[in-house]
Structure 1
Amino acid sequence: MNGHDGVPHVRMERLNGVALVTLSSPETGNALGVEMAESLLARVQEAAGDRETRSVLLTAEGRFFCVGGDVRAIGQAGEDVGSLLDRITAPLHAAISILLHMDKPLVVAVNGPVAGGGLGLAAVGDIVLASETAHFSMAYVGIGFSPDGGSSWLLPRLIGLRKTQELALTNRRLTSAEAVELGLVTRSVVGADLARDAQDVAEALAKGPVGAFAATRRLLLAAGVNTPEAQMGMEASSVRMQAEGLEGREGVAAFLGKRPPDFVST
């Protein structure tokens, strides 16, 4: 879907095996309204289903990565606020679920401040690079809301329950450096280098064994609910499948032949 000026709320471009998905409503701080959430879902579905795409890079345009929900629209909804929030959270949560479960690695480039539902989008990446000027806050209790966007599931896994409790209940803002220290972000980079560094990471992943990446993503997601024995059983089945497949055969042959592996052609 497009904004009032005809510009898409979320754009998608393809380059060197990477689907670049960009939140493109800088005049609103990339706030999550109905149109933004629906546009995000459409682009994420497109990227996840595209056979030519081997990795996905999510970023945003403008000063902010995402300021969270469109509070102005929420305030204007009156008695229809519940219905409005359903129309936002349903596509937003569907998009985050796809990003979590798709068979492609996800890089997130956080170009600026993040709050509320934007935090789930930032945290969902396998590798998250953040501008040194970015900062992170849950922000919900400041307007009397509770978390959405998957943050109540993602943050305890990434930074632990105790720290998540503090951030959720006090609205404490994390700097980019603090987010790295806690494990919310992979690396903090100079803002001018962010787009290039993130694209380099995404392209490197696109050249890698995407089947192995997909299997690894599934294992890591399952680790929080499986028993050790169930997890090891899943590992055994997964590594056997990879070893028997084209990627595993190419990887071993390249190792023994002392040459770089060619996973793109497998």
Structure 2
Amino acid sequence: MTEAITLDLRDGVAHLTLNQPERGNPFDLRLCAELSHAAAECDENRAVRAVLIDAAGPFFSVGGDVKSMTRDRDGLGLFMKTGTVGLHSAISRFARMDAPVVVAVHALAVGGGVVLSAAADFCLAARSARFYAGYTGIGLSCDGAGSVFLPRRIGVRRTAEFLMRNQNWTADEANDRGLLTDVVDDADLPSTAWDLAAELAQGPTRAFGEIKNLLLSTWEQPLEAQLEQEARAIARTARTEDAWTGLTEVAARRTPRFRGH
């Protein structure tokens, strides 16, 4: 049986690929469990300084595994609670890890594929890509931190409209509404996404992690509490080797080379 997720580490970039192309890369129990394990691996491995997530086959992801959901009506609630464990663990670790996460979307992303795109630090899409809400089309609410990251990217009203009206956006519409980092020509997506991940992998990884956590708390904290979090974060980064390298090299008018620690 092939892996639902493949992971390759090269030049500081952990390259994860959704790898059930014959099924459209559904967010089934197996994929979610493997995604959770891959996220934990990336979080623990100090050699990982950026994460790139893409997908094999004709679709990025067709969303939830609808066939599995129809096998046991009485057990469907338990199935959902069990099924979201892996996905939610993965999303949490991708959001909290120091390494920036880049998602590259081609063709169609549905449901969990959309919220994974929203949860990533950067999302690039092929010009032909589409983003389909999917959840309410089968009578379900969202998961995968869709209620957290979609409002952060596109606003609360736009999120309500996207999810409740079960909208299907082109890449340009998704970009205009704030979901994406950029739209690129289809043929350029793999190289552009890799170049972005490789660029981030050369940066001050600990500082990136502090910024990610500050952005996660910005809607929850009053001004003074967020300012204190910023002060503590910048003090922590000031004690890193990368900060000292950056300060001394820039002072000497040289370009710093960061090593992620």
TM-score bracket for the superposition, by shorter chain length: over 0.9
Displacement of 1:106: 0.6
Give the equivalent residue in structure 1 for 2:252: 257
1:1-266 superposed matches below 5 A: 6-264=1-259
The CA RMSD over aligned residues, in Å, is 1.3
Q: 1:80 to 1:232 in 2, by over 3 A?
A: same
Displacement of 1:208: 0.5
Displacement of 1:84: 2.1
- Total equivalences in the alignment: 261
- Counterpart CA distance in 1 for 2:84 and 2:260 is 39
**Does the 8 A contact of 1:118 with 1:149 survive in 2?**
no
Q: 1:265 to 1:223 in 2, by over 3 A?
A: closer
Q: Secondary structure at the match of 2:183?
A: strand
**Does the 8 A contact of 2:40 with 2:90 survive in 1?**
yes
Normalised to the residue count of structure 1, the TM-score between the two structures is: 0.94
Normalised to the residue count of structure 2, the TM-score between the two structures is: 0.96
- Counterpart CA distance in 1 for 2:72 and 2:5 is 23
Displacement of 1:78: 3.0
**Does the 8 A contact of 1:113 with 1:135 survive in 2?**
yes
Q: Secondary structure at the match of 1:78?
A: coil
Letter in 1 for 2:48: T
Displacement of 1:210: 0.4
Displacement of 1:229: 0.7
Q: Structure 1, residues 101-154: CA drift from partner, whole Å, max 9, x if none? A: 112111111122111122111111111101111111211111111111111111
- Counterpart CA distance in 1 for 2:133 and 2:40 is 26
Q: Which runs of 5+ in 1 are unaligned?
A: 1-5
- Counterpart CA distance in 2 for 1:122 and 1:63 is 17
Q: Structure 1, residues 195-234: CA drift from partner, whole Å, max 9, x if none? A: 1111111111111100110111111111010111111111
Letter in 2 for 1:56: V
